């Protein structure tokens, strides 16, 4: 890649600065309207001098970056001596590339920062290029190491967010004080499978803020789905840590062939002086602008109202799917999503002729004739034992070479889970690119969901592009019906497989404009900023009751755009119609997927659901797409009250979702609204008429709150908020 690749024009966004000469030790500034950093090209390493938000709350860096100190060429482990290359380095106001070289080793390192948008965080990556003619093995280069000088007594807090995974974690949204000695460590990977008693995987991002709101804060996130780790420590007057590929179990080593470049996972960094929801809303806008597919955002139906077949699990058939489509049309759904159960066998992604005698294209066409898009589940990186033509069969020697591990004798796949192929193997990537393309093309697919353990994060093959295992440090086990191999090479396996997975997703998008991609991964296990750039929405949790859905949404909506946050709504006891609305609305704060055969509903439930879906499309969806989101209630516990507010200042409109759990008392709650204007009047319309409509001042609504009364347990209300001229 050219060293100028990052220096792309932001014409019209910033007054265009000219390429500037980079002088050793002289500060270089890079920034946008929100954030500015100063960098310094030291003789042997670069340094981040400071990070500033909007002219205040500076974070001062106290150490130079740590660049890798050795490399292996052949049998020799050689120390590296990086020297600043002034002629190769570049900077302008919105980007900088500081170049270091070790001529003897034939390695060149680019330390790069850029502002991808006028607002929001700055991005940082380190690239290491093999200029020579020999294979070189390099150790782990962190994406970002930081050490800020802080007042030793300054009260600080840290915020981080867990992934939803199989079921929502007990805490989910962590806000803790950072005392002296604070020593925090967290990880994320392509498939979170938490073990009892261990910390959950996080959405790879953290925020540090002053306990006193005036102090301001800063945050860092990782745009990568593979195995990454983050640390944060407080030692006296220093706040320090690292962000990047996970060094454990280690020692990490990755191969650079002649001419190849290793790139650290891109991180984004920014400072902020708002509260937690202000930061979240800024991040939502930034993710939409910088990471999301602009074609998806232009689709006015995004996020689509979806009905999914998993309520019937593997028993789904063509006849039932058609009945679901018929009813979905009457109810106002926009997509029929065929989940697992349609294929011949794991790895054999062709329709089961007994259950789908007319094939999938006919079913998709049927959905299209009923005005619905057609979504399809596939676990396309899983191999099984089917002898069918075109199947990924572990007995096929070619396929066997791609597996992350050999199957044990007599191995059989589970109902929809097999053995993962390592997409980091070029031939496996090529197969998956062709197979996903075939599925989308042949079955007339508008949305492709990938499920299960798609992206390898451990592999015991020695002839793949990644490093080999260390047999003494290898742990093999089975979990969730998948076979796992954890070893010293796991992070390198995950690095190659994740890059290949992104290329497969991107190729699908290129070949099928308008195609939507759902990231499921057994639900909630791959929710991160890397997949946000290579897919359109996430399943955020793999349990589907109202509380799980609201908890997972509460957590993830702190950092990721709500339109991307999909919750599946399953059948749940609804003796009263209030409980039924509560069940639906608990999944209607982001992307709404219903996992129920609606033919089971009563006429009254049909009428209520049709009305709720119409309101979602007309009123809720435009807010979910673009409005600011405020966590105006506590994290849901299923017993008391919780609530979420959207408010779009541009349209002067918003909504409050209010939920009352299983505890009979109290029957009322005050939500302190956000984002309104004092001295401005707002009309409040209670959709279920739990209170009469009223007009109140914005200042009062924010200070004293809006009272909602719901005597029925497990019930809800939607309050439309409209500014009056």
Residues at the interface with Zn ion (CB under 5 A)? 422, 459, 461, 464
Question: Which stretches of 346-504 are assigned E, i.e. beta strand?
Answer: 348-351, 373-378, 382-383, 419-420, 447-450, 475-479, 482-486
Sign of the alpha-carbon torsion through 81, 85, 86, 90: negative
Residue 438 to residue 440: CA distance in whole angstroms: 6
Residue 494 C-beta: closest distance to Zn ion, Å? 10
Specify the DSSP class assigned to residue 393.
B
**Dihedral angle computed from the Cα positions of residues 690, 696, 697 and 702, in that order, rounded to the nearest 10 degrees:** -10
Which residue lies nearer to Zn ion by CB, 335 or 459? 459
Residue 460 C-beta: closest distance to Zn ion, Å? 8
Structure tokens at 698: 């914005």
Which residue lies nearer to Zn ion by CB, 22 or 459? 459
CB contact set of 725 (below 8 Å; sequence gap of 6+): none
Residue 466 to residue 470: CA distance in whole angstroms: 13
Residue 505 C-beta: closest distance to Zn ion, Å? 19
Which residue lies nearer to Zn ion by CB, 85 or 422? 422
Residue 423 C-beta: closest distance to Zn ion, Å? 9
Residue 461 C-beta: closest distance to Zn ion, Å? 4
Residue 405 C-beta: closest distance to Zn ion, Å? 9
Specify the DSSP class assigned to residue 394.
T
Residue 469 C-beta: closest distance to Zn ion, Å? 10
**Cβ–Cβ contacts within 10 Å for residue 390, how many?**
14
Specify the DSSP class assigned to residue 619.
I
Residue 212 C-beta: closest distance to Zn ion, Å? 50
Beta bridge partners of 655: 646, 720
CA distances from 588 to 553, 570, 616, 716 (A): 10, 13, 7, 12
Which residue lies nearer to Zn ion by CB, 500 or 516? 500
Question: What sections of 60-213 are H helices per DSSP?
Answer: none
CA distances from 532 to 222, 223, 274, 669 (A): 11, 8, 24, 35
Which residue lies nearer to Zn ion by CB, 413 or 424? 424
Residue 435 C-beta: closest distance to Zn ion, Å? 18
Which residue lies nearer to Zn ion by CB, 19 or 427? 427
Residue 570 C-beta: closest distance to Zn ion, Å? 36
> 29, 117 in Cβ contact below 8 A?
no
- The closest residue (CB) to Zn ion is 459
Question: Which stretches of 203-279 are assigned E, i.e. beta strand?
Answer: 205-210, 217-222, 228-235, 238-245, 254-256, 261-263, 267-272
Which residue lies nearer to Zn ion by CB, 396 or 697? 396
Which residue lies nearer to Zn ion by CB, 485 or 564? 485
Residue 464 C-beta: closest distance to Zn ion, Å? 3
Own/partner pairs, 325-331, CB within 8 angstroms, 24+ separation: 325/366, 325/367, 325/370, 325/372, 326/370, 327/598, 327/599, 327/606, 328/370, 328/372, 328/598, 329/370, 329/371, 329/372, 330/606, 330/610, 331/307, 331/598, 331/606, 331/609, 331/610, 331/613
Would you call 667 helix, strand, or coil by DSSP? Answer: coil
Residue 368 C-beta: closest distance to Zn ion, Å? 39
By C-alpha distance, which of 554, 550, 518, 522 is closest to 534? Answer: 518
Residue 297 to residue 291: CA distance in whole angstroms: 11
């Amino acid at each position: 890649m050219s060293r100028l690749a990052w220096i792309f024009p932001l014409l019209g966004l910033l007054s265009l600065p000219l390429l500037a000469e980079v002088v050793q030790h002289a500060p270089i500034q890079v920034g946008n309207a929100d954030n500015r950093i100063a960098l310094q090209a030291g003789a042997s390493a670069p340094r981040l001098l400071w990070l500033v938000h909007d002219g205040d709350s500076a974070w001062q860096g106290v150490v130079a970056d740590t660049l890798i100190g050795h490399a292996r060429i052949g049998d020799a482990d050689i120390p590296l001596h990086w020297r600043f290359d002034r002629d190769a380095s570049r900077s302008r106001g919105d980007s900088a590339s500081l170049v270091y070289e070790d001529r003897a080793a034939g390695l060149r390192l680019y330390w790069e920062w850029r502002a991808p948008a006028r607002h929001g965080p700055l991005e940082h990556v380190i690239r290491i290029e093999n200029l020579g003619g020999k294979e070189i093995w390099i150790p782990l280069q962190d994406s970002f190491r930081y050490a800020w000088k802080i007042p030793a007594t300054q009260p600080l807090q840290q915020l981080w967010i867990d992934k939803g995974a199989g079921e929502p974690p007990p805490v989910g949204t962590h806000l803790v004080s950072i005392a002296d000695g604070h020593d925090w460590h967290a990880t994320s990977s392509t498939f979170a499978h938490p073990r009892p008693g261990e910390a959950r995987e996080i959405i790879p991002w953290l925020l540090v803020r002053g306990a006193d709101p005036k102090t301001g804060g800063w945050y860092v996130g990782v745009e990568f789905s593979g195995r990454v780790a983050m640390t944060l420590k407080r030692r006296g007057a220093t706040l320090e840590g690292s962000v990047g590929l996970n060094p454990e179990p280690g020692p990490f080593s990755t191969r650079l062939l002649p001419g190849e470049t290793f790139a650290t996972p891109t991180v984004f960094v920014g400072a902020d002086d708002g509260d937690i929801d202000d930061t979240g809303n800024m991040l939502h806008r930034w993710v939409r602008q910088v990471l999301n597919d602009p074609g998806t955002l232009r689709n006015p139906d995004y996020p689509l109202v979806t009905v999914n077949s998993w309520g019937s699990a593997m028993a789904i058939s063509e006849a039932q799917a058609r009945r679901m489509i018929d009813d979905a049309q009457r109810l106002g759904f926009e997509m029929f999503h065929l989940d697992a159960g349609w294929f011949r066998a794991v790895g054999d992604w062709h329709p089961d002729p007994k259950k789908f005698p007319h094939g999938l294209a006919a079913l998709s066409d049927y959905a299209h004739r009923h005005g619905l898009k057609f979504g399809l589940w596939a676990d396309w990186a899983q191999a099984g034992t089917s002898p069918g033509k075109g199947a990924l069969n572990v007995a096929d020697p070619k396929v066997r070479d791609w597996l992350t591990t050999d199957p044990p004798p007599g191995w059989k796949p589970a109902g929809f889970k097999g053995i993962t192929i390592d997409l980091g193997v070029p031939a496996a990537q090529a197969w998956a690119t062709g197979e996903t393309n075939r599925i989308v093309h042949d079955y007339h697919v508008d949305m492709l969901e990938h499920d299960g353990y798609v992206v390898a994060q451990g592999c015991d093959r020695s002839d793949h592009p990644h490093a080999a295992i260390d047999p003494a440090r290898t742990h093999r086990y089975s979990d969730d019906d998948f076979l796992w191999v954890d070893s010293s090479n796991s992070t390198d396996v995950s690095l190659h497989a994740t890059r290949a997975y992104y290329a497969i997703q991107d190729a699908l998008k290129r070949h099928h404009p308008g195609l939507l991609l759902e990231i499921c991964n057994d639900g909630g296990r791959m929710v991160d900023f890397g997949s946000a750039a290579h897919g359109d929405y996430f399943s955020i949790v793999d349990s589907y009751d109202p509380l799980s859905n609201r908890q997972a949404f509460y957590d993830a909506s702190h950092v990721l755009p709500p339109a991307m946050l999909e919750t599946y709504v399953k059948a749940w006891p609804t003796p009263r119609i209030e409980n039924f609305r509560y069940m639906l609305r608990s999944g209607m704060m982001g992307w709404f997927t219903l996992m129920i055969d609606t033919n089971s509903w009563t006429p009254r439930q049909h009428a209520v659901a049709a009305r709720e879906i119409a309101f979602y499309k007309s009123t809720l969806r435009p807010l979910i797409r673009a409005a600011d989101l405020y966590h105006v209630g506590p994290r849901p516990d299923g017993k008391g009250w919780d609530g979420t507010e959207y408010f779009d200042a541009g349209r002067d409109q918003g909504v409050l979702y209010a939920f009352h759990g299983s505890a009979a008392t109290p029957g009322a709650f005050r939500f302190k609204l956000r984002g309104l204007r004092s001295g401005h009047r707002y009309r409040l319309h209670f959709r279920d008429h739990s209170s009469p409509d009223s007009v109140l001042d914005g200042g009062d609504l924010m200070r004293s709150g809006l009272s909602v009364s719901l005597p029925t347990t497990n019930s809800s209300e939607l309050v439309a908020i409209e500014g009056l001229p």
